[in-house]
Homo-oligomer: A and B are copies of this chain.
Amino acid sequence: MKTTLPPKGMRDFLPREKEIREYVMNEIRGVYRSSGFEEIETSYIENVENLTGGDGGENTKLIFKILKRGEKLNWSDAKEEDDLTDLGLRFDLTLPLVRFYSNNKNELPTIFKAIQMGPVFRAERPGKGRFRAFTQCDIDIIGDESNLAEVEIILTIARALKQLDINHFKIKINDRRVLKALVTGAGFTEAEFPDIAITLDKLDKIGKEGIVKELEGKSYDKTRIEALMTASDALKEKGLASIESMCLDGYENLKEIIEVVEALKETYDIVFDHTLVRGMGYYTSTIFEIEHSDLGYSIAGGGRYDKMIGKMIGSEVPAVGFSIGFERIVDLLMAENKLKHKQTKIALIYKDGNALTSVMKMSADLREAYSAVSVYKAKKKLGKQIEQLKKYGYDGVAVMDGELEVNLFDQTV
């Protein structure tokens, strides 16, 4: 017999879970829209060379590739994997956005504020809480090189979280240029920076000693590693002010962004964190991440990527993006069971003697008063049937038996 499970790492969603997912999507979408962002949709499937040729970093190793079809598929002559495939599933929403913007820029406003909400696919090794298809909820501002873009995008994401009753979180912010000044200041070359950044990104997981060990393992000069760690410790102690002389542009941007968010924020914090790296290679300056205060893990992340569109269209267009980790938010709300049930669902139960026409007319009438009405034929054990309807989320029943009366279940149960 064929399996009835979805493929490994993929999921189906039962009604209760789907309702929460739709609720979360709509609340986020509402906040995004209220800040003037406009929703677009990009193709789930991309030409495979668009996916593999960009700045996708590790994600390009995780592409679900689609087999060529018909006579285009000729595997006996294939020399490499790419001869077998022409399309692939998108692994994030940024790369499709860049392609979309490049293709449609003449129809879009000079400063384009985009919403994208949809699934992305990564052939990761499946594991607990790690899925091969998951939803992202992104906003991006394209065409604005000023700090306004960062500020709008940070405040909008914060409002979206508050809208979902997530009030206590910490926005960590850094600038890739600060990070680079720190690394080159310790004597490393600019060319070595990306590789060192990959190691520094692991600070949370492997700690300071782990970082030193890994850099030594990569055969970097011990004096430089020591200088880097000393500078990093000093920076941690002295905070934002200490980077003023080190990286002027980075300092001034961070200072203004933090000041404005500080003045507008309510229940959350924004902090400069010079250890924040963010994996993607395409970030050029500001990077940020939101950490849930109680759970301690990241629920949103993003940054500025001023070079990515230029690589596609030949002229530079600045861009900033921020993405909410939708699945983690849903898990949070599922666990807290906070969702208010907004519908009043009524089951209309009819008996053998009732003509279907009058049953359907009655259900249409009931629908005027109740938000959802569903018709069922009475079973022999009516009491048991009603108990089951209650269990499956109905708020009341109306049995067609003489005078019709709607019996709402006890609201307190």
Alpha-carbon separation in the docked complex, A47 to B4 (Å)? 10
Query: A39, B66: Cβ atoms under 8 Å?
Result: no
Chain B neighbourhood of A18, CB < 8 A = 38-41
Given A148-B377, A356-B260, A34–B372 Cβ distance below 8 Å?
Answer: yes
- Is A100's CB under 8 angstroms from B12's CB? yes
B109:A388 contact, CB within 8 angstroms: yes
Verify if A6 is at the interface (C-beta below 8 Å from B): yes
Q: A352-368: contact bitstring with B at CB < 8 Å (1 yes, 0 no)? A: 00001101110010010
- Whether A165 sits at the interface, judged by CB under 8 Å, is no
Residues in chain B near residue A21, CB distance under 8 A:
41
Which A201-232 residues sit within 8 Å CB-CB of chain B?
none
Known: A67-B81, A81-B73. A373 touches B36 (CB 8 A): yes
- Cβ contact within 8 Å between B50 and A2: yes
Chain B nearest Cβ from A135, distance in angstroms: 10
Query: Which residues in B have their C-beta under 8 angstroms from that of A73?
Result: 81
Q: Does A184 contact B (CB under 8 A)?
A: no
Task: Tell yes or no: A325 within 8 A of B by CB.
Answer: no
Contacts of A81 in B (CB 8 A): 67, 73, 75
Q: Is the CB of B104 within 8 A of A43?
A: no
- Let me know if A39 and B22 touch, CB within 8 A: yes
User: A4-B312, A7-B87, A375-B152 given as contacts; is B45 within 8 A of A64 (CB)?
Assistant: yes
Interface size grouping (class) on chain A: 35 or more
Q: Can you name 30 A-B pairs with beta carbons within 8 Å?
A: A2-B49, A4-B102, A6-B99, A10-B44, A10-B45, A12-B43, A12-B104, A14-B40, A14-B104, A14-B107, A18-B39, A19-B39, A22-B39, A33-B371, A44-B44, A45-B133, A64-B67, A64-B87, A65-B67, A66-B66, A66-B89, A67-B84, A75-B78, A109-B392, A111-B376, A151-B360, A152-B360, A260-B357, A264-B360, A264-B361
Chain A residues within CB distance 8 Å of chain B: 1-7, 10-15, 18-19, 21-22, 33-47, 49-50, 53, 64-67, 69, 73, 75, 78, 81, 84-87, 89, 96, 99-100, 102-104, 107-111, 113, 119, 121, 123, 132-133, 146-148, 151-152, 155, 256, 259-260, 263-264, 312-314, 343, 345, 347, 356-357, 359-361, 364, 367, 371-377, 388-389, 392-393
